[in-house]
Amino acid sequence: MASWQLTVGECVQVMAAQIEDNSIPLTITSPPYDDLRAYHGYTFDFPAIAAQLWRVTRPGGVVVWIVRDQVARFTESCTSFEQALFFRSLGFLVNTMIYAVRNPKPNPQRISYTPQFEFMFVLSKGKPAVTNWLTEPSKYAGISTNGSNGRAQGYIQGKNRTIQAHKRRGNIWWYSVGGSRRSDSHPAPFPPGLARDHILAWSHPGDTVLDPLCGRGTVGEEALPLGRHFIGIDVSAVYVAEAERNLQGAKPHEQM
């Protein structure tokens, strides 16, 4: 049976004291980036968190780091890119994915087009050990190719190949926000489906999933029904108490 552990505390200190080197196969988290969301007055030390994530991630393990830049005075902060490059300097391999919102909130600032996406940096400690590639229906399922279709794009397809019913997903994943059965006291919860999809993609049942900035526990809510263990850390006792209630009520998902 999947187990879980929640801790109130500053995540750098908690990780340093409680989590062994090279022990975590998957981390999914989203920091309180820039000034876009109030977090009970707390701030966070990005370089120290990144260093701890490198230490605790096992070889082949993955960290999914979800972040967005602030837009002010007609320019983005570029914090997301700075963080990705810092992770790279530690030794992580970096692959960029996008979390796109189907129903974005209106943009009252009118200094840019309406923000509709966040970065999902998939950081791996070497080649990912688990790659359960998620798929989607193929638009051209059943069509046969003659090998010439891809030449204009610089690659050659196999002759007489029949396109399969499903294809590997792209690196832009779309979700709707709001209308959840969950309470939303946290200032910026991400969609449960986002957490679930990354858990399925980068881990196996029985693996441990870490969220060092766990908020109200969305990652854990999705990890436990999928047979993964969960470790959650947050500096806010209010959010950890809510996360505990949510994890206690986590329901099994339908068979994936």
d(CA 8, CA 240): 7
| The residue type at 28 | I
Structure-block tokens of residue 15: 């990780």
The pLDDT score that the predictor gives to residue 25 is 98
Token pair for residue 145? 């190719």
Give me 137's structure tokens: 């229906």
Is the Cβ–Cβ distance between 229 and 250 less than 8 Å? no
Identity of the residue numbered 153: Q
Per-residue model confidence (pLDDT) at position 253: 55
- Nearest residue to 197 (alpha-carbon basis) of 217, 158, 238, 169: 169
> Of 167, 151, 169, whose CA–CA distance to 159 is shortest?
151
Beta bridge partners of 123: 63, 94
Q: What value, to the nearest 5°, has the Cα angle with vertex 223 and ends 60 and 137?
A: 80
- Give the integer Cα–Cα distance in Å for 36 and 187: 9
Domains of the chain: 4-134+169-248 (3.40.50.150), 135-168 (no CATH)
Cβ partners under 8 Å of residue 99, min gap 6: 66, 117, 118, 119, 120, 173, 175, 190, 194
* Residue 85: predicted pLDDT: 97
Residue whose structure tokens are 């263990």: 229
Three-class secondary structure of residue 89 per DSSP: helix
Per-residue confidence in pLDDT tens, the chain, 256 aa: 679 999 999 999 999 999 999 999 999 999 886 554 445 557 789 999 999 999 999 999 999 999 988 766 677 778 899 999 999 999 999 999 999 998 887 776 666 777 788 999 999 999 999 999 999 998 877 787 765 555 454 545 556 677 888 999 999 999 988 755 555 555 556 799 999 999 999 999 999 999 999 999 999 999 999 999 999 999 999 999 999 999 998 865 543 3
Distance CA 163, CA 142 (A): 5
Q: With H, G, I as helix, E, B as strand and everything else as coil, classify residue 218.
A: helix
How far is the C-alpha of 126 from the C-alpha of 124, rounded, in Å?
6
In terms of DSSP H, where are the helices of the chain?
11-18, 46-56, 79-90, 192-202, 218-223, 237-248
